[in-house]
């Protein structure tokens, strides 16, 4: 039977762009270009490698995001994924991590899966919580932060490198995994891949399709609430210490003044 791999990919605001908050203190996603979260490219790469080593496998990329999030799906399809699922609904505006995990879980279940592959964190929210929330919702094992991963005999095996130890993890499928940026360079889409991606199926789903009530998501349904947010003040010019015999002393005084020493 075909190995069904679902890769969760997030469309994130370009970190090099000028980013702002909207009036309701959510990130203004209309005003800035976005792209496939770089850390999710590693997830797509590992999913493709697992599929290439399997007798029969299908890779579906899944995103929850606005209309433009299709760009992230197209990039993943051009890398080699077979099909895509895009969950889009106006009522999703302001959904927090708990709500996003509900939407992803329902979409994963609807798609059908043996293995869900996530990135280690998104490059905007960077919470790194989604894979754990997703496995809890799906009621399947999680093996997170893997730098090496393989699938054999109905099990996923991986290596997690920690500060104090390296762990070998194994979980029976179905399971959720996340992979780190140490798992191997992500491939660049080839010209052929980019052309082929235009013809690959992208299924659009909304909250109704997933049997999710609007009050379970969005700002109202979120467990977390942003009370206040302020843009970081512009950087001020640094202090230049000119060494005219007393440079080291001035440097030490500066560091002591900043409580670095
Ligand atoms: C249009 C839109 C509006 C949002 N508004 C808010 C808001 O106002 N307040 C708020 O708290 N949150 C909001 N979110 C949700 C938020 O951006 C995150 O998706 C969510 O909180 C998860 O946190 P994170 O990005 O830190 O994910 P992490 O836990 O760091 O992500 C880990 C992995 O989970 C997967 N993943 C994460 N998010 C998605 C996704 N959307 N689709 C597919 N895979 C994903 C990826 O594989 C990623 O590498 C919004 C999201 C969208 C798309």
CA–CA separation, 238 and 199 (whole Å): 52
* Nearest residue (CA) to ligand 1, atom 8: 94
Whether the pLDDT of residue 142 is over 80: the answer is yes
The DSSP symbol for 156 reads E
pLDDT, average across residues 203-228:
95
SS3 content of the chain, % helix, strand, coil (to 5): 30, 25, 45
The number of beta carbons lying within 10 Å of the beta carbon of residue 47 is 29
Question: How far is the centre of ligand 1, averaged over its atoms, from the C-alpha of 231 (Å)?
Answer: 20
Please state which of the ranges 43-47, 108-112, 214-218, 232-236 shows the lowest mean pLDDT. Answer: 232-236
Residue 120 in tokens = 């280690």
**pTM of full prediction above 0.75:** yes
Decide yes or no: CATH 3.40.50.620 for domain 3-221: yes
Q: Which atom of ligand 1 is found nearest the CA of 120?
A: 49
Ligand 1 pocket test target in 61, 69, 97, 178 with most atoms within 8 Å of CB: 97
The residue ranges of every structural domain in the chain are 3-221
pLDDT digits (tens, 9 = 90+) for 26-36: 887 777 789 99
Question: How far is the centre of ligand 1, averaged over its atoms, from the C-alpha of 35 (Å)?
Answer: 13
pLDDT digits (tens, 9 = 90+) for 66-102: 999 999 999 999 999 999 999 999 999 999 999 999 9
pLDDT, average across residues 243-251:
90
């Amino acid at each position: 039977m075909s190995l069904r791999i679902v890769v969760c990919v997030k469309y994130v605001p370009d970190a090099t762009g000028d980013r702002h908050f909207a009036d309701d203190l959510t990130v203004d996603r209309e005003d800035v270009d976005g792209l496939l979260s770089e850390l999710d490219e590693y997830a797509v790469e590992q999913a493709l490698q697992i599929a290439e080593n399997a007798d029969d496998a299908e890779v579906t990329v899944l995103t929850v995001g606005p209309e433009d999030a299709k760009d992230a799906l197209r990039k993943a399809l051009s890398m080699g994924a077979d099909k895509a699922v895009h969950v889009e609904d106006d009522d999703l505006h302001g959904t927090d991590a708990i709500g996003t995990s509900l939407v992803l879980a329902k979409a994963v279940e609807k798609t059908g899966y043996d293995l869900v592959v996530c990135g280690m964190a998104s490059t905007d929210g960077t919470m790194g919580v989604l894979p754990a929330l997703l496995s809890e919702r799906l009621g399947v094992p999680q093996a997170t932060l893997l730098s090496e991963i393989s699938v054999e005999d109905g099990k996923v095996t991986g290596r997690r490198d920690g500060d104090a130890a390296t762990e070998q993890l194994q979980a029976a499928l179905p399971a959720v995994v996340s992979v780190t940026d140490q798992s191997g360079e992500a491939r660049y889409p080839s010209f052929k891949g980019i052309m082929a991606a235009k013809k690959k199926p992208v299924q659009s789903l909304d909250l109704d399709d997933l049997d999710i009530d609007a009050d379970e998501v969005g700002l109202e349904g979120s467990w977390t609430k942003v009370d206040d947010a302020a843009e970081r003040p512009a950087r001020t010019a640094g202090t230049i210490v000119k060494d005219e015999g007393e440079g080291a002393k001035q440097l030490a005084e500066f560091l002591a003044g900043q409580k670095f020493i």
